[in-house]
Structure 1
Amino acid sequence: MENAALLKAIIDNAIDGIITIDGRGIVETINPSACKLFLYAPEEVIGNNISMLMPTPYKENHDHYIGRYQQTREAHIIGIGREVTGLRKDGTMFPFRLAVSEVQFAERKIFTGFIHDLSREKEAEEQLRDYAAHLEDLVESRTASLKESVMALEQAKEEVSSSLVKEKELGSLKSRFVSMASHEFRTPLSAIQLSAALIEKYAQPYDNDNIRKHVSKIKGSVGILTGILNDFLSLEKLEAGKIDAVCSPFNLVTFAEEITDELQLVAKQNQHIIYQHTGTANIVNLDQNLLRHCVTNLIGNAIKYSGENTFIEFNTEIAPGQCVINIRDNGIGIPETDQKHLFEAFFRAHNTGNIPGTGLGLNIVARYAHLMNGRIDFKSDVNQGTSFTITFQTV
């Protein structure tokens, strides 16, 4: 008696619904959780065929199985171990996972159904899909707006480059754009990036390839937009005189190896960044943040403008009175007619095609190098590659 009472208490307090039926499909017991799911009182279900809890086509199929049982006395229970749909008393339907076990009891067979409600899981999946689609639309809209603004700046520069007055007007236009971009894009981009990361985290239990694909697309687009925005903000700070070099001693080899490892992760297929240091000294006195921006930009360009299955050489050297950093690739090169304009803001070589960029990177690198008492030189041939060298005078 004590064991029977314990079993009844367990069934009555189970989170999932539990229903037992005989071989003809007649309900013998139903626990409180199942009553709550189907909105029936126990007396409304017990003694009736289980098909009363099934919508079409499950009901019709069940009636067919019962008819066959009456002829053959062989039971056939549908929905074992899979998702099915239940019919509530008020006519609404809900998804659940059904597991059925056969039990020999008192010289007869009874069948126990375990019902796990999937309503919340299905609603969460739908909300994640809707939110991912909303974020994708938002990123596309912001991208189009930012591209239009950048194109407007480039067109304005071409129209006013021949006049000093017009050049000042362009500077004012750029300053207004950067101010607008800082307020109008940085905050929503940060929110989109955070939301994408949260979606990726919350979607892990559902193992949905579509969600992963769209989240990856969102994060990639946000990364591109953030890079463009950072270029504009750096240029605005340089022109306003808000950036100064803060130099301190650090290990150049360790610094360069860290950058090499980071950028190797984003290199193209079979692109290899080969780093080598010359000399026994390894300590330099420079601004790490500004130098990191310079080296990352130059190696990033080498990755971007070189093909797969190529090598990118990254060399450092500390000699008496100077520090030399060299990045060499064998990419598309720079046309000779474009080389004199290479470090101008917003300028891009004519052979870059559809490769993305703002035309600000090399201008910023040259100005950062100058702040650290350095200069940048280059050599390039079309389809042969490009070599950039930054030389810093040291004490």
Structure 2
Amino acid sequence: MARAKILIVEDEIITAQAIAGQLKRLGYDVVDIANSGTAALAKVAQTCPDLVLMDIVLKHRDMDGIEAAEQIRNQFKIPVIYLTAHSEAATLARAKVTEPFGYIVKPFNQRDLGITIEIALYKHQTQQQLIEREEFLSTILDSTHDAVVATDATGGITYMNPIAQTITGWSSTEAMDKPVTEVVQIFDEATNTVVENPVIRLLRGEPVPNQGHNRLLIARDGTKTPIVDHVSLMRPNDDDIKGAVLVVCNISERRQAQALELERVKLATEVAERQKAEAEIRKALTTEQELSELKSRVVAMISHEYRTPLAVILTSTELLKRYSTQLSQEKQQTYLDRIQMGVKQMAQLVEEVLTFNKAQAGELQFNPEPLNMEDFCLQLVDEQRLMVGDRYTLTYNPQLSSGEAELDKQMLRHIVTNLLSNAIKYSAKGTTVSLSLRREDDTLIIQVQDQGIGIPESEQPRLFSPFFRASNVSTIAGTGMGLSIVKNCVDLHQGQIAIASEVGKGTTVTVTLPVNAKPSSGDATH
């Protein structure tokens, strides 16, 4: 991990040198020392530090530390920690306005300095990730074809995407903080009466029934648009309600198509045929609703899972773009490696989604071929080692008298890669993840073991259900598709999978496959 670079702004040279010594002993790089606000701004632009230690009172009165810190925050977005011998209320009040990341009163010891710096660096990193995630999510919401409206816990509007602004006739600026009932007005088409806004009902804790397609949204200018809507609560901590999200789909084109079809059926068929067609339509609408819900879950999953690799790619490309001439060859290669890693992670997610879709549709092709299992699994372990670097220890223990087997290569890759990535994802850094491989008669046994968070026993029977994630995963990223894919691949090999896990101690997954797998029922597809 790169050492944090720190700029010291202190007009007492002896004090500045003493602080520099403490920082070096703590393992930080001191990029320079400035004795005035103007000098500090120039050195920040020149050295691009990760953090600035700023003395509030500077003898060179071109600007004091607080003024300099404010300009550093506005221009460079770099965190600042104040160092001062003054703790007067007025000084503190001025300092707070600049949103510092720490405040240390002289004299201080090395330990306090280190703790304050680490907290500031972590807080800054977290804030930057949050900003990047919000920008990414906003881009996704702005690109969707459905209207999306978010509210606070009282029903006041906090966000509208462009489609929502178009369909309601309200700009985002005009609608901000206004009651959702004023901006999003919904009528029952059959009775021509106002429908209570589903957001308000949900925020009151009442169930929101499915109203079908007999609803109209009345825009600001009176334009009526047939819609279907879906509302859900925002619960960041699964307890406190922070607001609600209303998704509105314009079904004008669908309505027109349905009307034409119904007219054709009415003119061309008898009553019995018409009833049959209506039944099929109802079934189709149910399927559409299920697909809509699945779409929402997939969009939410992709928006969540793409944030981290996209943030890494965006940050690395921005740094290379801005500071390529100032970065060493080694540093440039590090950023290029990060970009490549992010692209691989995104490609892996796309591959996982495509495989999951084929598995759910029963379209996975089963094509067994001769494989050297020892070499094949070693390649997969090496790929994971390249991705995790030195953050984890990956061990590989093949115990095979013969490594030859006839299995589906692509499915086997899904099985081993998903199990290894899951073991790594849910384990603490510095722990060991092991893959063992052995053969018993005509059976191949693949076992992946970790020292991670484990899985609650009551939830283990649901692990292979699509999109299911255990309740103790907290904020660990994941799609809930991996084990479902693994189970499909194992079943197509006519194999078995077993999971033994204990919360806080780790998980062991054992996959048993026939050495010479054959397609079931004589068919190459499943």
- 1:361 maps to 482
Q: Secondary structure at the match of 1:309?
A: coil
The structural deviation recorded for 1:241 is 2.5
Q: Mapping of 1:138-287 within 5 angstroms?
A: 141-144=135-138, 168=287, 171-173=290-292, 206-208=325-327, 224-267=345-388, 269=390, 271-287=392-408
CA spacing shift, 1:355–1:292, aligned 2, 3 Å? same
The structural deviation recorded for 1:372 is 2.0
The structural deviation recorded for 1:261 is 1.4
Contact 2:414–2:486 (Cα < 8 Å) also in 1: yes
The structural deviation recorded for 1:271 is 2.1
CA spacing shift, 1:237–1:315, aligned 2, 3 Å? same
What is the TM-score when the length of structure 2 is the normalising length? 0.39
- 2:242 maps to none
The 4+ residue runs of structure 1 with deviation greater than 3 A are 137-149, 152-156, 164-171, 174-181, 191-205, 207-230
- 1:302 maps to 423
| Between 269-278 and 197-206, the greater mean CA deviation after superposition | 197-206
- 2:126 maps to none
1:326 and 2:447 equivalent? yes
Choose from 426, 432, 435 the match for 1:311.
432
Contact 2:312–2:342 (Cα < 8 Å) also in 1: no
- 1:390 maps to 511
What is the TM-score when the length of structure 1 is the normalising length? 0.51
Contact 2:317–2:335 (Cα < 8 Å) also in 1: no
Q: Secondary structure at the match of 2:468?
A: coil
Query: For the residues of structure 1 that align with 2:486 and 2:322, how far apart are their CA atoms?
Result: 40
| Residue identity in the other structure for 1:355 | I
| Residue identity in the other structure for 2:405 | V
| Residue identity in the other structure for 1:264 | R
Query: For the residues of structure 2 that align with 1:264 and 1:244, how far apart are their CA atoms?
Result: 29
Query: For the residues of structure 2 that align with 1:167 and 1:380, how far apart are their CA atoms?
Result: 38
CA spacing shift, 1:195–1:302, aligned 2, 3 Å? closer
CA spacing shift, 1:346–1:289, aligned 2, 3 Å? same
Bigger relative CO (Cα 8 Å, ≥ 6 apart): 1
Pair member with larger Rg = 1
| Superposed CA offset, 1:41-80 (max 9, x none) | xxxxxxxxxxxxxxxxxxxxxxxxxxxxxxxxxxxxxxxx
Q: Secondary structure at the match of 1:373?
A: coil
Query: For the residues of structure 2 that align with 1:207 and 1:140, how far apart are their CA atoms?
Result: 30
Q: Secondary structure at the match of 2:292?
A: helix
Q: Mapping of 1:1-40 within 5 angstroms?
A: none
Choose from 470, 478, 481 the match for 1:349.
470
The structural deviation recorded for 1:194 is 10
| Superposed CA offset, 1:191-240 (max 9, x none) | 99999999898889624489889877766665554444333222212222
Contact 1:322–1:391 (Cα < 8 Å) also in 2: yes
Query: For the residues of structure 2 that align with 1:217 and 1:311, how far apart are their CA atoms?
Result: 23
CA spacing shift, 1:274–1:195, aligned 2, 3 Å? closer
Identity of aligned residues (%): 27
The structural deviation recorded for 1:278 is 1.8
Q: Secondary structure at the match of 1:243?
A: coil
Q: Secondary structure at the match of 1:206?
A: coil
> What's the RMSD between the two structures over aligned residues?
5.0
In structure 2, list runs of 5 or more residues that go unmatched.
Answer: 1-130, 145-228, 234-282, 304-309, 517-526
In structure 1, list runs of 5 or more residues that go unmatched.
Answer: 1-136, 157-163, 185-190
Q: Secondary structure at the match of 2:476?
A: coil
The structural deviation recorded for 1:144 is 4.9
Contact 2:312–2:338 (Cα < 8 Å) also in 1: no
| Superposed CA offset, 1:155-177 (max 9, x none) | 79xxxxxxx99985564226656
CA spacing shift, 1:146–1:203, aligned 2, 3 Å? closer
CA spacing shift, 1:373–1:387, aligned 2, 3 Å? same
CA spacing shift, 1:154–1:221, aligned 2, 3 Å? farther
Contact 2:341–2:387 (Cα < 8 Å) also in 1: no
